[in-house]
A and B are shown apart, each in its own frame.
Chain A
Amino acid sequence: DQQVKQNSPSLSVQEGRISILNCDYTNSMFDYFLWYKKYPAEGPTFLISISSIKDKNEDGRFTVFLNKSAKHLSLHIVPSQPGDSAVYFCAAIRDTDKLIFGTGTRLQVFP
């Protein structure tokens, strides 16, 4: 039972354009959401997070939007850079429970 889903396994975007990565969840009890970025041969690194009491959080080129009624969150990267090419995982958690990850989306930013 995949509680956190990333339905697009891959995304290709031109440098300078916007990258939008999507994530859906099924458990309405999740109250905190995080995005991680993973390069090959490295562990995931934290990117940005959002609490369920907010609908938007911004950090430089990265913005996460949360739509609780649709149980959907998205990560916007503007402008996209070649160094953003990586696998992006969304994750959700409730209280101090375990962190549930999505299956990941591979982003490729081309010149």
Chain B
Amino acid sequence: KAGVTQTPRYLIKTRGQQVTLSCSPISGHRSVSWYQQTPGQGLQFLFEYFSETQRNKGNFPGRFSGRQFSNSRSEMNVSTLELGDSALYLCASSSSGPRQETQYFGPGTRLLVL
């Protein structure tokens, strides 16, 4: 079974630009969660999508948004990038939600904002 894939793996943007990150979950998984990892902050929950509906949302500004398609693939968008948005963005998929031990993470997209 193929794992969770994230594209692109690395990205450099400048302040004010927007960015879209993509996550393809494991086949059959309907839940996709997004996390931001920064030094000193650990992994912070952004949002979770299940069957194309946002089921949970973290404490991030509205510049961070996401969506999920009918094939469970998910995208995350950040508009008006700020320097502090530089981070590793991880997505994770599972069959029913993050409570499951069988939540699998992708390798992440490392975003650098200059």
Contact = CB atoms under 8 A, between A and B. Distances in A.
Interface residues of B, number: 27
B7 to A, nearest CB: 14
B102 A44 contact: no
6 contacts: A36-B105, A43-B107, A45-B105, A100-B45, A101-B35, A102-B42
Nearest to A1: B59
A69 interface: no
B58 A98 contact: yes
Interface residues of A, number: 23
A48 to B, nearest CB: 9
B40 interface: yes
Contact of A46 (B43, B57, B103, B108): B103
B45 A99 contact: yes
A45 B105 CA distance: 7
Nearest to A102: B42
Interface in A23-41: 32, 34, 36, 41
A46 B56 contact: no
Nearest to A49: B101
B45 A98 contact: yes
Given A43-B92, A43-B107, A96-B99, A104 B42 contact: yes
Given A43-B92, A101-B42, 7 more contacts: A43-B90, A43-B107, A45-B104, A46-B104, A99-B103, A102-B42, A104-B42
Contacts of A32: 99
Contacts of A44: 43, 90, 105
